[in-house]
Amino acid sequence: MAITVEKEGTKYIETHLRGSQLLQSSHLNKGTAFSTKERELFHLIGLLPHSVETLDEQLQRAYCQFSLQADDLQKNIFLNNLYNTNETLFFRLIREHIPEMMPIVYTPTAGLAIQRYSDEFRKPRGIYLSYPEREHVDEILSQWDDDKIDLIVLTDSEQILGIGDQGANGIGISVAKLVVYTLCAGINPRRMLPIMIDVGTNNPDLLEDPFYLGWRHPRISPKEYHKFVENVVNAINEKFPHVFLQWEDFGKKNARYHLDRYQDVMCTFNDDIQGTGAVAMAALLNALKITGTQLSNHRVLIYGAGTAGCGIADELWRQMVKEGLNHQEAYDHFYLMDREGLVTGARDKIDYFKAPYACSSTEPSEWDPGDDPRELLDVVRNVQPTILIGTSTVQGAFTREVVTTMASQIERPIIFPLSNPLTLTEAKPEDIIRWTGGRALVATGSPFSDVEFRQKSYPVAQCNNALIFPGLGLGVVSSQAARVTASMMDAAIVELASSAQLNEDNTRLLPEVSRLMDVSKDIGVAVARQAILEGVARKRVNGNIEALVENNMWEPVYIPYKPLVVINSK
């Protein structure tokens, strides 16, 4: 397949595929929208109903079919089947209905779909690098042209969303992320690749499931695992030296290790760490505008010190340092809680990425007798946080007493229950608004409707990573950046924060999902500009950076086809 531009400026696609082979290509299939001339040229007469439809007519039918599905899982299955049949129609349909369909193809429904992946399997998509086939990694990657892949989303599926180890089923999260890259930033779906590293699973339900499609084996040892991942990364780096590699849903220890290990080796990014931190930081920047305060004047309590929680802490810590605090002063503004309770220096062993945030080992001993550093309410009472962030996946952890205790200590409490999906959120925004008398500034991880309280509407922002990573990827791909730098992340955060239109009547801390395409484009421009300024862009740019980014945005429209004539060298 090749896209050609005629002298008059009209684009068309050349392909050697004919007949049923063309209809079976999800990249190229137009279904009933093949023109009469194309049907003749590509031997499609008789393989399609007589009527020739427009894309808009196909959209109407597809939306009716979507609406008839019984539940969200069935809607997800319908859309994936459409994806496997007609890629252009799939992306155009969702773009036309993005507020309704984004939660179906991405969070929260993606989690359920991944759990059901083996049961509902229809067609493979992407690459499965299984440990028993580790000698064939180079051979597997060789099936793709090295100049036609711009972006890879890689997962080992150890910690999928809020549902844990999903083994080979986790390929679904890589696919979903790439769908969002296209929907929200227009990155060409034919230049991206989802990859699943199958190193076994410790999920007993999957190991006993007769339909499970992955390698039926417990996860391999850490030594074997890190050697395998290193081999995979080296093979990717050699095959696709200019690719943007995103790590997705690795376990907390491995996620941090891989980012630290490879971020100076290739252009790489971890959405669970950096993306989550960036979106939360953008929302907080706007909360700080409303409260008229600096972040360095706040005390931050993060309930859930895993990959996401520590990623948020790192981003907020960087902001405090930029505001003038030294490193230790900034760390002293944080309190992290994990499954063992408050992270303190008294512990025998602390994960290296948590250790800088460990509070004084003597601090809890100075609390009121009977207060327990393992209990959130007691920590809130003693720490007196002004910002409370939840990444724990503990449903209802932010109880009325926790919220009202915090709200009694500050005029405008900032409370972000960010856990996904809806069933795992720490608190519902309507409860937080009601318990604080409308004083709290709220952002959530899952989508919630705005809250009506005392005849006033309170906007609820969703800290959806789709607000940041598609635009970041667009900027990286457009500039062909060799690295993702801290300043590039800062540029994305500032652009995202500024895209929320704050005023007296609207305190929504982040833009609506319906504006994702415009927001992602602006972020892409900001990131590409910063990459060029820092000298990490491989792309030479003469002139308009906005035009550069726009030229890298794929549109889900049908382009005329012409037969590609294959010349026989014999």
What's the pLDDT tens digit per position in 16-72? 999 999 999 999 999 999 999 999 999 999 999 999 999 999 999 999 999 999 999
Task: Give the residue ranges of DSSP H helices in 136-221.
Answer: 137-141, 171-185, 204-208
| Residue 254, token pair as written in the block | 């491995």
Identify whether the C-beta of residue 410 lies closer than 8 Å to the C-beta of residue 404.
no
| Average confidence (pLDDT) over 396-401 | 98
Q: pLDDT confidence of 189, banded at 50, 70, 90? A: very high
Strands in 341-342's sheet, in edge-to-edge order, are 341-342, 334-338, 300-303, 387-390, 414-417, 441-444, 461-462
Active site residue 225: no
pLDDT for residue 513 = 83
Q: Per CATH, is 108-266 categorized as 3.40.50.10380?
A: yes
Residue type at 560? P
455-487: pLDDT as tens digits: 999 999 999 999 999 999 999 999 999 999 999
Fold match flag (2-53 vs 108-266):
no
Residue 430: pLDDT band with limits 50, 70, 90: very high
The partner residues of 302 in beta bridges, in order of sequence, read 336, 389
Cα torsion through 392, 448, 442, 329, rounded to 10: 40
pLDDT attached to residue 235: 96
For residue 3, pLDDT beyond 90: no
pLDDT-based confidence at residue 1 (cuts at 50, 70, 90) = low
**pLDDT: is 420 or 555 the higher one?**
555
The per-residue pLDDT for range 205-225, each reduced to its tens digit, is 999 999 999 999 999 999 999
1, 46, 469 from 36: Cα distances, Å: 21, 11, 41
What is the Cα–Cα distance from 570 to 565, expressed in whole angstroms? Answer: 15
Q: Does the pLDDT of residue 422 top 90, yes or no?
A: no
Q: What is the mean pLDDT of residues 362-375?
A: 86
C-alpha span between 168 and 212 (Å, rounded): 8
Lowest mean pLDDT among 192-196, 313-317, 346-350: 346-350
Q: Yes or no: say if 273 and 299 are a contact pair by the CB < 8 Å rule.
A: no
Span 2-53: which CATH code?
Answer: 1.20.1370.30
Q: What is the pLDDT of residue 504?
A: 67
**Residue 4 confidence (pLDDT):** 57
Q: What is the pLDDT of residues 302-315, one digit of tens each?
A: 999 998 999 999 99
Q: What pLDDT, in 10s, does the model give residues 267-318?
A: 999 999 999 999 999 999 999 999 999 999 999 999 999 989 999 999 999 9
- The mean pLDDT of 332-359, rounded to a whole number, is 92
Q: Does the active-site annotation cover 106?
A: yes
Mean pLDDT of 343-357: 90
Pairing between β-strand 414-417 and β-strand 2-5 as defined by DSSP bridges: unpaired
Please tell me the predicted confidence (pLDDT) of residue 505: 65
Compute the distance between CA of residue 400 and CA of residue 337 in angstroms, rounded to an integer: 19
Indicate the pTM of the whole model: 0.92
Task: Give the per-residue pLDDT at 219.
Answer: 98
Predicted pLDDT of residue 273: 94
* 339 vs 503: which has the higher pLDDT: 339
Considering the chain, what percentage of its residues have pLDDT values greater than 70? Answer: 97
In terms of Cα–Cα distance, which of 416, 409, 392, 100 is closest to 282? 416
293/139 Cα distance (integer angstroms): 56
Q: Which of 84-98, 108-122, 473-487 has the lowest mean pLDDT?
A: 108-122
pLDDT at 567 over 60: no
User: CATH says 274-463 is which class?
Assistant: alpha beta
- pLDDT (average), residues 76-98: 96
Q: Which residues pair with 127 in a beta bridge?
A: 195
Q: Give per-residue pLDDT as tens, 222-258.
A: 999 999 999 999 999 999 999 999 999 999 889 999 9
Closest CA to 298 of 404, 413, 380, 391: 413
Q: Which of 306, 331, 307, 310 is nearest to 320 (CA)?
A: 331
Closest CA to 308 of 431, 403, 417, 166: 417
Rounded mean pLDDT, 172-191: 96
Give strand ranges (E) for 361-507. 387-390, 414-417, 441-444, 451-453, 456-458, 461-462
pLDDT above 90 covers a percentage of the chain that reads: 84
Give the active site residue among 30, 83, 106, 212. Answer: 106
Report pLDDT for 301. 98
d(CA 105, CA 73): 10
Query: Running DSSP on this structure, what letter comes out for residue 273?
Result: I
Cα–Cα nearest to 197, from 235, 146, 252, 148: 235
Q: Give the mean pLDDT of the chain.
A: 93
The domain limits of the chain are 2-53, 108-266, 274-463, 467-539
- Catalytically annotated residue among 30, 83, 117, 177: 177
Model pLDDT, residue 363: 81
Evaluate if residue 120 carries a pLDDT over 60. yes
Report the sign of the C-alpha dihedral through residues 478, 481, 483, 489, in that order.
Answer: negative
* Residue 570: predicted pLDDT: 47
